């Protein structure tokens, strides 16, 4: 039994949905299907989820939302027409959106209910289409499926008890189509997963039904060893471990959600990333182990939008509880941090820029200054992080020196280095303006040069 998930780009239009149906029907094992909301059809297009969020924001700001609502309805109408299905469903969807907007819920709950409409409607459409072309399929709402989550709007996490109920889905005879991206709390409140969370739904369902394989269909032939927006035609990765993929996803490989790895890993279900537009390609296999060939580094991930809170105080190393107190201030201000490298007399805390907007900065710095009596505290914005990942790194000498030489060649200053304790990853902080140059140079070192050396050794 296989669980297949189709991302936003795979369900963006009727043409794409026809490909999706073909893929499902090609393999009888593909019995459980998870779908996203329609994504972008071209680069300047808008994802349905983004449109739904705009409806919610307009409501919060008491602005007119009809035009955005019409854009959502228009997307579904086009898809239904393209599949030669009745467009009646769009009336229900419109009424549903209006009732959510006019409802009495808190802003956060309303926003989650709106976000869910994209996936929910698309799952109904796909199930209607499969039936229409002669194959038994059923739309199954996450509540009916048993996807129970925590009460954290927009950030919900799966509850352990979900898995036993999900197992029952194995008994269904028809193709089951489940909308991704949301679940229900024990109190029956709809709750959205983090953005990109349909990958997580797919992994939860795969773990629940103990699938043999979780296939994640997207718009690229495989996971590439570096973001294809930074290096053109980068090398494909054919095999990755869960640990490697989690590090890479977390650090910027947006092709697969990092929180989707754990359910698959725990249940030992291999994940295969494949292309809806070229399903015959082998894709990338993610599992517990792989052959450590092709050099120590398997991928280079990168992301911008970080800042560093730099704190220095003479004899910080002798002050018990300093780090805890610093992080406690951030906790009390609702700021989550990503990394916290430290020295003898100083410590940096790396956070995502949206966690510390400029209007909050003064208060946080004042608290640090006042409560910790530090010598210096400052914020450096416009930082980017680069993560070099590979299980082979902990048994290879010289990775760091090769990386440093790459930064030097690219004329990019390293602001910070942090080696993960697992030794599967090495993280570098640089100024955002040098990010592309640094990544291109690292790619040259760890992939282009390594291939040439391997060729010469043959
Ligand atoms: N290292 C990488 N390998 C492959 N794709 C990547 C990588 N880094 C970023 N991406 C981007 O991820 C995109 C696919 O993810 P996403 O847009 O979430 O797809 P979907 O709509 O199927 O959920 C690709 O089109 C590509 O631009
Ligand atoms: N539609 C949701 C969830 C999702 O997983 O989407 P996608 O498969 O397009 O990344 C989002 O945009 O966040």
Q: How far is CA 219 from the centre of its chain?
A: 15
Q: Do the annotations mark residue 306 as ligand-binding? A: no
Rg (CA), the chain: 24
Alpha-carbon distance of 136 to 174, in angstroms, equals 5
- Starting from the CA of residue 48, give the closest ligand: 2
Q: What's residue 294's pLDDT?
A: 67
- pLDDT at position 421 is 67
Is the shortest distance between the CB of 36 and ligand 2 below 6 Å? yes
Residue-level pLDDT at 418: 85
Per-residue pLDDT, 317: 87
The Å distance, Cα 214 to ligand 1 centre, comes to: 17
For residue 108, the model assigns a pLDDT of 93
Assess whether the C-beta atom of 228 lies below 6 angstroms from ligand 1. Answer: yes
Which is nearest to 4 in space by CA: 191, 209, 154? 209
Question: Which ranges of the chain have pLDDT less than 50?
Answer: none
In sequence order, what are the residues at sequence separation of 6 or more whose Cβ sits closer than 8 angstroms to the Cβ of residue 438? 302, 386, 406, 407, 410, 412, 428, 430
The pLDDT value recorded for residue 442 is 97
pLDDT score for 4: 98
- What 3-state class would DSSP assign to 276? coil
**Which residue has the CA at smallest separation from atom 10 of ligand 2?**
196
> How confident is the model at residue 397, as a pLDDT?
84
Whether 106 has a binding-site annotation, put simply, is no
* Cα–ligand 2 centroid distance for 195 (angstroms): 6
pLDDT, tens digit (0-9, with 9 covering 90-100), for 419-452: 876 779 999 999 999 999 999 999 999 998 877 7
Say whether 8 counts as a known binding-site residue.
Answer: yes
Q: Which two tokens stand for residue 59?
A: 């409501």
- 276 Cα nearest atom in ligand 1: 22
pTM score, two decimals?
0.92
Among 6, 9, 36, 200, say which to mutate for ligand 2: greatest number of ligand atoms within 8 Å of CB: 36
Does the annotation flag 5 for ligand binding?
A: yes
Share of the chain above pLDDT 70, in %: 99
Residue ranges of the chain assigned to CATH 3.40.1160.10: 2-287
Burial (CB < 10 A; 0-12, 13-18, 19+), residue 321, is exposed
380 has binding-site annotation = no
CA dihedral sign, ordered 263, 269, 273, 277: negative
Which tens digits make up the pLDDT trace of 109-136? 999 999 999 999 999 999 999 999 999 9
Residue 219 marked in a binding site: yes
Assign domain 2-287 to a CATH class: alpha beta
Q: Indicate where the chain has its CATH 3.30.2130.10 domain(s).
A: 299-457
What are residue 218's DSSP bridge partners?
A: 275
Is any atom of ligand 1 closer than 6 Å to the C-beta of 39?
yes
Q: Which atom of ligand 2 is nearest to the CA of 39?
A: 9
Cβ atoms of residues 385 and 353 within 8 Å: no
- Tell me the CA distances in angstroms from 234 to 217, 434, 449, one per residue in order: 19, 19, 13
Which residue's CA is minimally distant from atom 16 of ligand 1? 255
Instruction: State the ligand closest to the CA atom of 10.
Output: 1
256 is in an annotated binding site: no
| 299-457 maps to CATH 3.30.2130.10 | yes
Q: Do the interacting molecules here have an ipTM over 0.90?
A: yes
In ligand 1, the atom with minimum distance to the C-alpha of 229 is: 27
Pocket test for ligand 1, best of 218, 223, 235, 272 (most atoms within 8 A of CB): 218
CA of 148 to the centre of ligand 1 (A): 27
Query: Residue 444 has what pLDDT?
Result: 95
């Amino acid at each position: 039994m296989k669980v297949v998930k189709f991302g936003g780009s795979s369900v963006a239009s009727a043409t794409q949905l026809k490909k999706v149906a073909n893929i499902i029907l090609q393999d009888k094992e593909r019995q459980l299907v998870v779908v996203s909301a329609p994504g972008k059809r071209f680069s300047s297009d808008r994802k349905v989820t983004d449109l739904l969020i705009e409806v919610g924001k307009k409501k919060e700001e008491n602005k007119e939302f009809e035009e955005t609502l019409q854009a959502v309805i228009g997307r579904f109408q086009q898809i239904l027409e393209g599949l030669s299905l009745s467009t009646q469903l769009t009336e229900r969807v419109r009424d549903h959106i209006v009732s959510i907007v006019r409802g009495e819920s808190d802003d956060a709950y309303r926003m989650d209910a709106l976000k869910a409409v994209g996936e929910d409607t698309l799952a109904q459409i796909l199930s209607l289409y499969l039936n229409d072309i002669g194959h038994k399929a059923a739309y199954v709402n996450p509540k009916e499926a048993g996807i129970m989550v925590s009460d954290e709007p927009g950030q919900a996490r799966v509850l352990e008890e979900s898995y036993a109920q999900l197992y029952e889905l194995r008994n269904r005879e028809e193709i089951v189509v489940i909308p991704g991206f949301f679940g229900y709390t024990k109190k029956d409140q709809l709750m959205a997963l983090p953005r990109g969370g349909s990958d997580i739904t797919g992994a939860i369902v795969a773990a629940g039904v103990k699938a043999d394989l979780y296939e994640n269909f997207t718009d690229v032939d495989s996971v590439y060893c570096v973001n294809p927006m930074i290096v053109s035609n980068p090398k494909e990765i054919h095999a990755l471990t869960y640990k490697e993929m989690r590090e890479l996803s977390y650090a910027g490989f947006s092709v697969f959600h990092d929180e989707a790895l754990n359910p698959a890993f725990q249940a030992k279900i291999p994940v295969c990333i494949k292309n809806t537009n070229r399903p015959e390609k082998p894709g990338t296999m993610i599992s517990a182990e792989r052959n450590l060939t092709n050099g120590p580094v398997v991928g280079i991930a990168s992301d911008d939008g970080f800042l560093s809170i730099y704190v220095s105080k003479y004899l910080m190393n002798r002050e018990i509880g300093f780090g805890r107190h610093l992080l406690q201030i951030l906790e009390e201000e609702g700021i989550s941090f990503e990394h916290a490298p430290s020295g003898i007399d100083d410590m940096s805390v790396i956070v995502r820029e949206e966690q510390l907007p400029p209007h909050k900065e003064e208060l946080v710095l004042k608290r640090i200054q006042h409560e910790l009596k530090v010598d210096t505290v400052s914020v450096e914005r416009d930082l980017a992080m680069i993560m070099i990942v590979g299980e082979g790194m902990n048994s290879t000498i010289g990775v760091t020196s090769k990386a440093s030489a790459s930064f030097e060649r690219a004329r990019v200053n390293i602001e910070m280095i942090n080696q993960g304790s697992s030794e599967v990853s090495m993280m570098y902080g640089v100024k955002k303006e040098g990010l592309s140059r640094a990544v291109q140079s690292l790619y040259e070192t760890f992939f282009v040069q390594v291939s040439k050396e391997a060729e010469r050794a043959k």
